[in-house]
Amino acid sequence: MLSVKSVVKNILFLSTSVFFAAALAHAATPQKPNVVLFLVDDLGWRDLGCYGSSFYETPNLDRFARENVRFTDAYSACHVCSPTRASVMTGKYPARLQMTDWLPGRREYPFQRFKNATILQHLPFAETTLAEALKEHGYATGHFGKWHLGEDPSGPLQHGFDVQVPRWNKGWPNAGYHAPFRLDALSDTTGDYLTDRLTDEALKYIEQNKDRRFFLYLSHFAVHDPIQGRADLVAKYQAKLKRGATAQRPPFILEGNPDAQHAPTRAQLDARIKEDAYRGYHVLPKQTVKIKQEQDNVQFAAMVENMDESFGRVIAKLEALGLSENTIVIFTSDNGGMSAANFGRPDRVVPATALDANFSTSNLPLRGAKGWLYEGGIRVPLLIKWPGRTARGSVTNVPAISTDLYPSILEMIGEPARPSQHPDGVSLAGVVRGETPPAREALYWHFPHYSNHGMQSPGAAIRAGDFKLLEYFENNSVQLFNLREDVSEQRDLASSQPGKVEQLRSRLHAWRKEVGAQMPTPNPDYDPSRPEYIPPPAKAKKG
Ligand SMILES: [Ca+2]
């Protein structure tokens, strides 16, 4: 029988051994890098200085781009929020997940020939999310900001995150960017600005976890509408606009439905915009809407610079804590810039006095906007820092997409890929190291819905090499562009290159079959005598 003394001795010996074993294991395993994923909402491809904006100032991101890797041809998996976010968390195309539209999704209207395809209302629990994978590898996981992948009990806390700030799962801030925010688990005082407060909390999280590996998902509500900048920055851009305001081009152009029976040419659209019937900001005759052409919105400019400040504060915190050489930092956006207004209710009219609240930016030279399959809807900034592995200041035109982040992060932290979880992603780690790009046949988009930011038919797209084919489901129209020669998608090659069209179309159809993509179904309430939304006549000119 053991004496009390020997039991105590044994416990002491055991606990000391456990302590030394743990310390040895710690010393033998190199510290895994931390991961910061900084995801901005609705930030357009040209909304940063390092991507060509001359109006918005983003010094922290510009410096980061100079020191790390900048992707010129990066894409979001969808032109609206939730599908892209689902692809980031799972490494799967939204079509494979049946999460192809924003949550909860668009209403049905009788002028639409199809019903929107049915979507899941939350991220499926069968998925091993990026956060769950990192948790398995010993990471603390913090979610700060926008989720938009389902309500509780399918929020971030049920999908692998230890911490969620604020406790709010929707796709927009509850009460705007100025305090009071009316958000659980995010306190505020008068004068607080949401992006700043979220950043405060994210920095606290970094401090609290500085001695262990962590995954910080800082998913800002910014720069999604409501378009409300911080007052000091708004004043700065008001002054800047006054100094340099010389409009180079018309403030808006028209875009129509490429799938219409007689789809309008660019010259026809440019002529129509001068007609009285096409005045105003609402759904215009022949399914046209207006697209903003200038980056001159001072409220939006303030939001972009403030978001850049937030990024700069995160980088500075990592440096101050000595973590910057052991932290992977990824910056991207979930879809293109909102240069078209939201006509989720087609009878909505945006008064001329409220343009800046409804049209945030210009995506030029890219065509289209958030809500469109043109490049303006899906091409986004992507910057990656992999400490010690990044070729300083490199720029790559290797196409990348948001499904790639999952396998890229696994490879960069030295953990094995999970090919059955992220079948639609390829690791970009080699590209970041400056090696040969990963083999990939094509990138795909699938949107079996009508869009709030345009009146085009539901459709899909494929990019293979330099070519991109867009296909629309009401009349099966296609458009073919060579992005290398025509990034603005102005020269439709569909009729001159029928072989290319057939090749890409059959690949797109085969992909749809492979991923089990849902197609829109006939709308029983469709009224064929009114095949398009008929807007109210333009009001008579005043004065
Ligand atoms: Ca978005």
Show the 3-state SS of 324-383: HHHEEEEEEECCCCCCECCCCCCCCCECHHHHHHHCCCCCCCCCCCCCCCCHHHHEEEEE
Ligand 1 center from residue 82 Cα (angstroms): 7
Taking the centre of ligand 1 as the mean of its atom positions, its distance from the CA of residue 76, in whole angstroms, is 10
Q: What are the tens digits of pLDDT across the range 190-219?
A: 999 999 999 999 999 999 999 999 999 999
- The structure tokens listed for 137 are 């590898």
What is the phi/psi pair of residue 418, to 5°? -125, 75
Give the distance (Å) from ligand 1 centre to CA of residue 56.
Answer: 19
Number of separate helices (H) and strands (E) present in the chain: 14, 17
DSSP 127: S
Task: Tell me how far the alpha carbon of residue 186 lies from the centroid of ligand 1, in angstroms.
Answer: 22
Distance 469 CA to ligand 1 centre (A): 23
Distance 103 CA to ligand 1 centre (A): 11
How many degrees, rounded to 5, is the angle at CA 537 between CA 534 and CA 538? 130
CA of 42 relative to ligand 1 center, distance in Å: 4
* Structure-block tokens of residue 369: 């906007």
The alpha carbon of 238 and the centre of ligand 1 are apart by a number of angstroms equal to 26
Nearby residues of 222 by Cβ (< 8 Å), 6 or more positions away? 40, 41, 177, 194, 195, 303, 306, 307, 310
- State the distance from the centre of ligand 1 to the C-alpha of 80, rounded, in angstroms: 5
Distance 353 CA to ligand 1 centre (A): 24
Q: How many angstroms does the Cα of residue 77 sit away from the middle of ligand 1?
A: 11
Ion ligand 1: residues, Cβ under 5 Å: 41-42, 81, 334-335
Structure token pair of residue 251: 């403030």
How far away, in angstroms, is 304 Cα from ligand 1 center? 14
Q: How many residues does the chain have?
A: 543
Helix (H, G, I), strand (E, B) or coil at 167: strand
What pLDDT does 534 receive?
A: 87
Distance 335 CA to ligand 1 centre (A): 5
Q: How many A from CA of 94 to the centre of ligand 1?
A: 14
* CA 280 to ligand 1 center in whole angstroms: 25
What is the 444 CA–ligand 1 centroid distance (Å)?
Answer: 18
**Cα of 193 from ligand 1 centre, angstroms:** 20
In angstroms, what is the span from residue 332 Cα to ligand 1's centroid? Answer: 11
The pLDDT value given to residue 247: 65
Are 337 and 300 in contact, with CB atoms under 8 Å apart? no
CB burial of 303-335 (b: ≥16 within 10 Å; e: otherwise) equals bbbbbbbbbbbbbebbeeeebbeebbbbbbbbb
Report how far ligand 1's centroid is from the alpha carbon of 250 (Å): 26
Task: State the pLDDT at residue 243.
Answer: 86
CA of 431 from ligand 1 middle (Å) equals 26
Rounded to the nearest angstrom, the distance between the alpha carbon of 535 and the centre of ligand 1 is: 27
**pLDDT reported for residue 538:** 65
What is the Å distance from ligand 1's center to 219 Cα? 10
348 C-alpha to center of ligand 1: Å? 21
Name the region of 95 (left: φ>0; alpha: ψ -120 to 50; beta: rest): alpha
Start-to-end Cα distance in the chain: 106
Q: Distance of alpha carbon 329 from its chain centroid, rounded?
A: 16
Say how many Å lie between the CA of residue 334 and the centre of ligand 1.
5
CB atoms within 10 A of CB 209: 21
Centre of ligand 1 to C-alpha 467, Å, is: 25
* Low-confidence spans in the chain with pLDDT less than 70: 1-30, 245-247, 538-543
Residue 261: the pLDDT is 87
- What's the 229 CA to ligand 1 centre distance in angstroms? 17
CA–centroid distance, 276 to ligand 1, in Å, is 33
Task: Provide the 8-state DSSP code for 160.
Answer: T
Distance 511 CA to ligand 1 centre (A): 25
3-state helix, strand, coil in the chain (%, to 5): 30, 15, 50
Q: Compute the distance from residue 41 Cα to the ligand 1 centre, in Å.
A: 4
How many angstroms is it from 18 CA to the middle of ligand 1? 48
